Amino acid sequence: MNGPEAFKDQVKQLYRALTGLLIAFVMVIGLVMAYVNDPSIFDSKDDSWVAVPEEDPDLIVDGIHQRTGLIEAEGLMAVVSNCTSCHSAKLITQNRMNAERWNTTIAWMQETQNLWDLGDQQEVIVNYLVTNYPPKAKGRRMALTDIQWYELEEE
Amino acid sequence: MKRRAFIQKTALSAFAAALGTEIVFGANLLKGYTPLGLQDPDPFELFKKNKDMVVLNDRPWNIEARAHLLDEKITSNANMFIRNNGLIPQEIDVANWTLTIDGESVKNSKTYSLEELKTKFKQYTYQLTLECGGNGRSEFDPPAKGNQWTVGAVHCAQWTGVRLRDVLEDAGIASDAVYIGYHAADVHLSGDPTKEPISRGCPMSKALQEETLLAFKLNGQDIPVAHGYPLRLVAGGWPASVSGKWIERISIRNIVHDGAKMTGTAYRVPCKPVAPGAKVADADMCIIESMPVKSLITYPKSGAVLKKGRKLNIRGHAWAGELEVAKMEYSIDFGSTWKSCELSKPANRLAWQHFTASIDFPEVGYYEVWARATDSQGKAQPMVLPGWNPKGYLNNACHRIAIKVQ
* ipTM value for the complex: 0.84
Percent over 70 (pLDDT), chain A? 81
- Record: contact A86-B19, CB cut-off 8 A: no
Closest partner CB to A144 (pick from B5, B22, B402): B402
Query: Scanning every residue of chain A, which has its alpha carbon at the shortest distance from the alpha carbon of B305?
Result: A151
Question: Is B334 near chain A, with CB under 8 Å?
Answer: no
Please determine, for residue A50, whether its predicted confidence score (pLDDT) is greater than 80.
Answer: no
Closest partner CB to B1 (pick from A49, A90, A119): A49
- The CATH number given to B77-287 is 3.90.420.10
pLDDT at A35: 64
Give yes or no for a contact between B114 and B229, defined as CB atoms under 8 angstroms apart: no
Q: Where in chain B is the domain with CATH 2.60.40.650?
A: 294-405
- pLDDT one-digit tens code per residue, B224-260: 999 999 999 999 999 999 999 999 999 999 999 999 9
Q: Which residues of B touch A147 (CB under 8 A)?
A: 302-303, 402
Question: Is A45 near chain B, with CB under 8 Å?
Answer: no
Give yes or no for a contact between A58 and A65, defined as CB atoms under 8 angstroms apart: yes
Closest partner CB to B190 (pick from A31, A80, A113): A113
Rounded to whole angstroms, the Cα distance separating A16 from B197 reads 62
Q: Where in chain B is the domain with CATH 3.90.420.10?
A: 77-287
- pTM value is 0.80
Please determine, for residue B21, whether its predicted confidence score (pLDDT) is greater than 50.
Answer: no
Cα B216 to the center of its chain, rounded Å: 18
pLDDT at B257: 98
Q: Which residues of A touch B3 (CB under 8 A)?
A: 39-40, 57
Please determine, for residue A10, whether its predicted confidence score (pLDDT) is greater than 50.
Answer: yes
The CATH number of domain B294-405, selected from 2.60.40.650, 3.40.50.920, 3.40.50.150, 3.40.50.12160: 2.60.40.650
CA B167 to chain A, closest CA, distance in angstroms equals: 32
- pLDDT one-digit tens code per residue, A59-111: 999 999 998 999 999 999 999 999 998 898 988 988 888 999 899 999 999 99
More confident residue, A28 or B119: B119
| Arithmetic mean of pLDDT, B110-128 | 98
Question: Is B120 near chain A, with CB under 8 Å?
Answer: no
Please name every residue paired with B32 in a beta bridge, in sequence order, or none if there are none: none
**Topology of the domain comprising A60-132:** Cytochrome Bc1 Complex; Chain D, domain 2 (1.10.760)
pLDDT at B16: 37
Sign of CA dihedral B15, B17, B19, B23: positive
> Domain ranges in chain A?
8-41, 60-132
Question: Is A143 near chain B, with CB under 8 Å?
Answer: no
Question: Is A109 near chain B, with CB under 8 Å?
Answer: no
pLDDT at B7: 34
Question: Is A142 near chain B, with CB under 8 Å?
Answer: yes
